[in-house]
Structure 1
Amino acid sequence: MHQYSIDGRVYNEDDPGLQAALGRVHHTKIRPLCLCVRPGAPMYVSKVSGHFQIKRMPESGADHSADCDSYEPPAELSGLGEVMGHAIKEDVEEGMTMLKLDFALNKIAGRAPPAPSESEQGSIKADSSKLTIRSLLHFLWDESHLTHWNPGMQGKRSWATVHKYLSRAAHGKITKGLHLPTTLYVPEPFYVDRKDEITQRRKAFIAGAEKSDRPGQKLFIVIGEVKEVTAARYGRKMILKQVPDFFFMISEDLNKKLKKVFTDEVSLWNAFPEIHLVTIATFSIDPAGVAQIEEMAFMVTTEHWVPFTNVDEKNLIETLIASGRRFVKGQRYNLPASRPLASVILSDTQPKHTAMYLVPSNASEDYMAALNDLTESSPLKHLRWISGDVMPEIPPAVVPSRAA
């Protein structure tokens, strides 16, 4: 159970006096301390829907114990380091996170939204000023801790879990003057006997969100699991597993771009029946009430909803899960494939955590130089796995313990 020190007194996370204590220090300079480590990691207090919440200070995730919900590995080991402070800015005083997006959330007549890139950005320095639609998915997956794994999660992850934590992660996120939950549609789990009430809640969300003073037609964001993409009379029709009665139409032009950009994701999805193909997309509702996709991206995950990008990474994640390991999966965000990042960070090795890198067999000199710089400047241990080689021996785990 989490414990916090607030103005000299220790509270458990379920202490009935915690809310009053947080209210007293809200908007003061007093910082609650998370006691997962000693003498404590500073936190801050935000207020959401009348409820006080304790949140991690910006860029302080690595200061927490590995078994603490606030733990995050160093941001520079993943694509998060490139966008934090630029495309993602946290306002501690207001308890809000400001997101800068490089895609539209409204559709103005005569002006098409920016077209999705037909190829992954390949420049040496990725754009850190705005989040692509794929990067927004990576960020929300990170914020939901769906990139985190520990043995206690075995058998406890379903779409209901994903829905719950993605919805929670969206709160307090502001973009283009909008509170993200007002435009983000994460389908709830589907049950046949509750079909009508689920449909009514979806219609109410769309109808309520359509009322806006912004110019043009509002665009929504959907995150869901793809069931199938089938031929329609014109273009294609995407069906999500959680929304079998609400179709998302894809134009032929967009479908061609999807095939080109996300060939690997579709190939993996076809090869492994147990994995999930997750999509994030912006969509509008036409006068007939049909959803029309404007821009989208794909991401594949293991059966436990942990993201991966290739067969080696899938095998590594499954080996770690089967071995009862504790780890965090690195996300690429805006980083191109030509830039290195830690595939996973083992948070159960001592005295230092271990970052594992999956290195392409044809890695360029620039890639290897960047990888050397990354590992030399990091306080963690490092382990490299060259594609095509046998998986290296993974350092043994040490059971973490909370600060006494």
Structure 2
Amino acid sequence: MTSYRFGDEIVDKESGDFERILASVYKSKDRPVCLCRPKGIEMYVVHIGEKFYIKRMPDTGGDHDAACASYEPPVELTGLGEVMGSAIVESADLGTTALKLDFSLKKMAGKSAPEPGEGGADSVRTDGSKLTLRGLLHYLWEEAGFQRWSPSMGNKRNWGVIRKYLLLAAEHKSTKGANLSDILYIPEPFVLDRKDAIAQARAAQMALVAQTAGQTGPRKLMLLIGEVKAINPSRYGHKLVVKHLPDFAFMLNEDLHKRLNKRFETELSLWDAIEGVHLVAVATFGVNKAGVATVEEMALMATTDNWIPFENRSDKTLLDTLTRDGRRFLKGMRYNLAATRPLATVVLTDTPTPTALYIHQSGGDDYDEALDGLIRDSKMESWVWHPEQGEMPAIPRQ
């Protein structure tokens, strides 16, 4: 268990006084020190809601011990390296993070949804200076810790937990002059006895962007994160049915539906074919004068039954093997990276030193050269599986 030094006092996170000490440090602006390493690593404290949390300093994730909750693999092994410092700008002094987005949070009158490549509908064409819609979802997922896995997490993740920590991850994040938490809608777990209260709370939140009579100029949009239950035909297009929202749907026009099927064919096919897969949607949406929500842009992400994101069957096979064997690991998140760019699929954190696991994709000579360069330039031990060659090699031991 990691301990922290506050001045001359050493306290572990499970101490009953931990939050009181964090509150005191927050007021003093002193830096607590994580003791996962002999020399210690400076941290900082943030105030979210009614609670205080200890956070790692920017660009220090790799300095922590692999067993520490603050450890983060080198950013160049995942898609985070392309966006950190440009699309994601952290300020430890202010305890805030500024996000630059590659999609709009406003709807111009008469303007249709962007074509693939103009924004979040297609998450692969970007210069890295702005987060795509998928990139934002990956960032919040990682900030919430759902790319991490250890045996102790078994059977402890459900939609209520997912929602709680995604909302916490959105706190103190700002974009385009707005607080991310103010424009983010994540449905709460549905409880029949609270049906009316849930509907009223939803209506109150969506009223912030609802179109009003006589309104001119651009309309505000909100962000949705929810688990897909179905995408069904409707009278004039299609509708997104989100789990825990039995009495509320999000409308999709025919054009967006066609492009969604094309761009996210892989995610949709994995969800359809594999039992237990969760399909998570992130979308921008507006609300018209009738109170009907319409999706403007949308991206999808497939996860295992433990809510760990994956990209293909080989990816899931590796994750299932590691989970079954009781391993500790971090899942590499792609963010804005194209599927043709290699990344570390998983970083094992229970080996003597962290080990990067790669799954080779059939991407031609350019892909092979990029993968070889990624492994060569990394100081981390590596393991490569070529699914096209057959059986998975032995995974490095704990």
TM-score between the two structures when normalised by the length of structure 2: 0.93
> Is structure 2 residue 388 aligned with structure 1 residue 395?
no
Preserved CA contact (<8 Å) 2:226 2:281:
yes
Letter in 2 for 1:203: A
Change (3 A) 1:116 1:221: farther
Identity %: 47
Letter in 2 for 1:353: P
1:143-292 aligned within 5 A = 143-208=143-208, 216-292=218-294
Which secondary structure does the structure 2 equivalent of 1:47 belong to?
Answer: strand
Letter in 2 for 1:148: R
Deviation at 1:65, TM superposition (A): 2.5
**Which residue pairs with 1:400 in the alignment?**
none
Which secondary structure does the structure 1 equivalent of 2:188 belong to?
Answer: coil
Preserved CA contact (<8 Å) 1:277 1:300:
yes
Which secondary structure does the structure 1 equivalent of 2:11 belong to?
Answer: strand
Counterpart among 296, 303, 306 of residue 305 in structure 2? 303
Deviation at 1:117, TM superposition (A): 2.9
Preserved CA contact (<8 Å) 1:226 1:279:
yes
Change (3 A) 1:52 1:161: closer
**Whole-Å separation in 2 of the counterparts to 1:208 and 1:251:** 23
**Which residue pairs with 1:358 in the alignment?**
359
**Whole-Å separation in 2 of the counterparts to 1:25 and 1:372:** 48
Q: What residue ranges of structure 2 are gaps of 5+ in the alignment?
A: none
**Which residue pairs with 2:324 in the alignment?**
322
Preserved CA contact (<8 Å) 2:209 2:286:
no
Q: Over residues 63-96 of structure 1, what are the superposed CA-to-partner deviations in whole Å (9 max), with x where a residue is unaligned?
A: 2233322121111100000000000000111100
More deviation, 363-372/84-93? 363-372
Q: What residue ranges of structure 1 are gaps of 5+ in the alignment?
A: 398-404
Deviation at 1:241, TM superposition (A): 0.9
Deviation at 1:114, TM superposition (A): 3.5
Change (3 A) 1:214 1:143: farther
**Which residue pairs with 1:48 in the alignment?**
48
Change (3 A) 1:94 1:339: same
**Whole-Å separation in 2 of the counterparts to 1:52 and 1:36:** 20
**Which residue pairs with 2:384 in the alignment?**
384
**Which residue pairs with 1:141 in the alignment?**
141
TM-score between the two structures when normalised by the length of structure 1: 0.91
Which secondary structure does the structure 2 equivalent of 1:245 belong to?
Answer: coil
Report the number of matched residues: 390
**Whole-Å separation in 2 of the counterparts to 1:277 and 1:20:** 38
Deviation at 1:10, TM superposition (A): 1.5
More deviation, 157-166/208-217? 208-217
Preserved CA contact (<8 Å) 2:267 2:301:
yes
Q: Over residues 104-124 of structure 1, what are the superposed CA-to-partner deviations in whole Å (9 max), with x where a residue is unaligned?
A: 11112244453343996777x
Change (3 A) 1:127 1:207: same
Let me know the Cα RMSD of the aligned residues: 2.2
**Whole-Å separation in 1 of the counterparts to 2:370 and 2:208:** 48
Letter in 1 for 2:324: A
